[in-house]
Amino acid sequence: MGIEPERISILNPKAEQKGAWVLYWMQQSQRAHDNPALEYAIIQANRLDLPVLVVFALTDSYPEANLRHYRFMLEGLAKTQCQLARRRIGMLVRKGDPAMAIGSLMEGAALLVCDVGYTRHQRAWRQQISVDAPCRVVAVEGDVVVPVATVSPKAEYAARTIRPKIHKHLEQFLKPCPRYRPKHTSIHMGLESLDLGAIDAILDGLDIDRTVSAVTQFYRGGPGEAKIRLRRFIAHHLQNYASNRNQPQTGEISHMSPYLHFGQISPVFLALQIAHAETGADADRAAYIEELIVRRELAANFVYYTPDYDRYDCLPAWAQKTLAEHTADRRETLYDRQTLEAAKTHDPYWNAAMAEMRDTGFMHSYMRMYWGKKIIEWSPTPEEAFETILALNNRYFLDGRDPNSFAGVGWVFGLHDRAWFQREIFGKVRYMAASGLERKCDIQAYVAKVAALSRARIDGEGSGK
């Protein structure tokens, strides 16, 4: 069956060389199964009669990452290392930026394989590695269902424009990832690596922001954790997904976004599990697939084809124009970032959303929209609102700093949306009001739910959990 050719890109014109291993530099796809880059590396290693060796570069300068993100990621990497070992594949974790951390290993590589990331720094890392490597570098795209360039050669305007282009290719790409057995083991090669059995010690040795605490009470990293949550969602919640996915007081969501962000679960595997689930109706499965594939891969398309995806200037021209026309509109209330972070506004619904984000690393997607819209209303200018929303998003969410997050922030300001009725402050950008929450969901139950989560967080910290 092999790996679909459309997922594979040769990043430099160099040839394979005589070497001791095929090296897979794992970065975005942090998992031992359902990983096209890993399976491609095994195929090539077997062809060359060599072992495949996996390396992960742990940099403490990852943009905007903090203790919350590093703890979750390292928990996942520890599980992935164990799963790889059961496949007779050694995984090394080395500290430093990728070029430095894996430089010596490239010298012994006959071929270097990497996975694909879409953000600016991920692409720059791969470009640098392709220049520095003495051998051929091949990238294999496995964290979207349909490869981004296969879907479209340009940034798409909205979900309605990308949807048919994605669906055109689904039958080809929505297939299980093959799994291959390495001919040779790379376990116990005596190569230097950080000890993932000592996560606390690794964290202590990193120069990172420690002001945002880990959220292990609510989320633990790892492919196994992701699959446990997925099975629970399918068994108990998928049947209500279409009707309740915009009801933040309920638990009818899968909580897969942190695991997708760190590549701890494959979107193809996830989509197939949902598509073949025996629970739920066709409408439930279709609604989930729409979010997982169409909406998520619209975000990947946006980041891939928009160099300034994290800047206000990335917004559609119509949105920038209408917001500029209303910059001088009177704002009844203004809040600085410190007040927002403390969840001390006059709006109890917004405060609950901020508390959920701050205390658990997650926020229901429906509340994320409301949360962002109110910051526009409470900021002196839309440009300042954009900076505030993006900074808080990246700081507190486990799935922040992700194409889905960048597109989500942009959506608050009109990206992938249409012009609506004219109103103060927002112009023609879509508005959301507290009265809408009261009409469309049980918002008081959501406030109570978050209060219970926050109490559990405090109780857990007091008990040392």
| Distances in whole angstroms, Cα of residue 229 to Cα of each of 198, 242, 254, 288, 405 | 25, 18, 7, 15, 21
pLDDT of amino acid 464: 55
3-state SS, the chain, equals CCCCHHHEEECCCCCCCCCCEEEEEECCCCCCCCCHHHHHHHHHHHHHCCCEEEEEEECCCCCCCEHHHHHHHHHHHHHHHHHHHHCCCEEEEEECCHHHHCHHHHHCEEEEEEECCCCHHHHHHHHHHHHHCCCCEEEECCCCCCCHHHHCCCCCCCHHHHHHHHHCCHHHHCCCCCCCCCCCCCCCCCCCCCCCCCHHHHHHCCCCECCCCCCCCCCCCCHHHHHHHHHHHHHHCHHHHHHHCCCCCCCCCCCCHHHHHCCCCCHHHHHHHHHCCCCCCHHHHHHHHHHHHHHHHHHHHHHHHCCCCCCHHHCCHHHHHHHHHCCCCCCCCCCCHHHHHCCCCCCHHHHHHHHHHHHHCCCCHHHHHHHHHHHHHCCCCHHHHHHHHHHHHHHHCCCCCCHHHHHHHHHHCCCCCCCCCCECCCECCCCCCHHHHHHHCCHHHHHHHHHHHHHHHHHHHHHCC
pLDDT of amino acid 117: 97
**What's the rounded Cα separation, in Å, for the pair 371 and 433?**
10
**What's the rounded Cα separation, in Å, for the pair 263 and 410?**
23
Fold classified for 312-455: DNA Cyclobutane Dipyrimidine Photolyase, subunit A; domain 3 (1.10.579)
Residue 101 and residue 77 in contact, taking contact as beta carbons nearer than 8 Å: no
**Angle between helix 159-167 and helix 296-305 axes, rounded to 10 deg:** 100
CA dihedral sign, ordered 290, 427, 304, 221: negative
**What's the rounded Cα separation, in Å, for the pair 173 and 151?**
11
Residue 297 and residue 144 in contact, taking contact as beta carbons nearer than 8 Å: yes
Q: How many residues does the chain have?
A: 465
Task: Give the pair of three-digit tokens for residue 75.
Answer: 């928990």
* Angle, CA of 85, 91 and 93, to the nearest 5°: 140
Residue 268 and residue 145 in contact, taking contact as beta carbons nearer than 8 Å: yes
Class of domain 1-143: alpha beta
Q: Write down the CATH number for the domain with range 144-180+223-305.
A: 1.25.40.80
Q: Given its phi and psi angles, is residue 17 left (phi above 0), alpha (psi -120 to 50 degrees) or beta? A: beta
Residue 31 and residue 266 in contact, taking contact as beta carbons nearer than 8 Å: yes
pLDDT of amino acid 84: 98
**What's the rounded Cα separation, in Å, for the pair 48 and 93?**
24
pLDDT of amino acid 465: 52
Q: Strand 137-140's sheet: what is its strand order?
A: 8-10, 137-140, 109-115, 21-26, 52-58, 90-95
**What's the rounded Cα separation, in Å, for the pair 26 and 37?**
8
CA dihedral sign, ordered 339, 345, 349, 352: positive
**What's the rounded Cα separation, in Å, for the pair 137 and 134?**
9
One digit per residue, pLDDT tens: the chain, 465 residues?
Answer: 689 999 999 999 999 999 999 999 999 999 999 999 999 999 999 999 999 999 999 999 888 999 999 999 999 999 999 999 999 999 999 999 999 999 999 999 999 999 999 999 999 999 999 999 999 999 999 999 999 999 999 999 999 999 999 999 999 999 999 999 999 999 989 999 999 999 999 999 999 999 999 999 999 999 999 999 999 999 999 999 999 999 999 989 999 999 999 999 999 999 999 999 999 999 999 999 999 999 999 999 999 999 999 999 999 999 999 999 999 999 999 999 999 999 999 999 999 999 999 999 999 999 999 999 999 999 999 999 999 999 999 999 999 999 999 999 999 999 999 999 999 999 999 999 999 999 999 999 999 999 999 998 877 775 555
What are the two backbone dihedrals, phi and then psi, of residue 113, each rounded to the nearest 5 degrees?
-115, 140
- So where are the chain's domains? 1-143, 144-180+223-305, 312-455
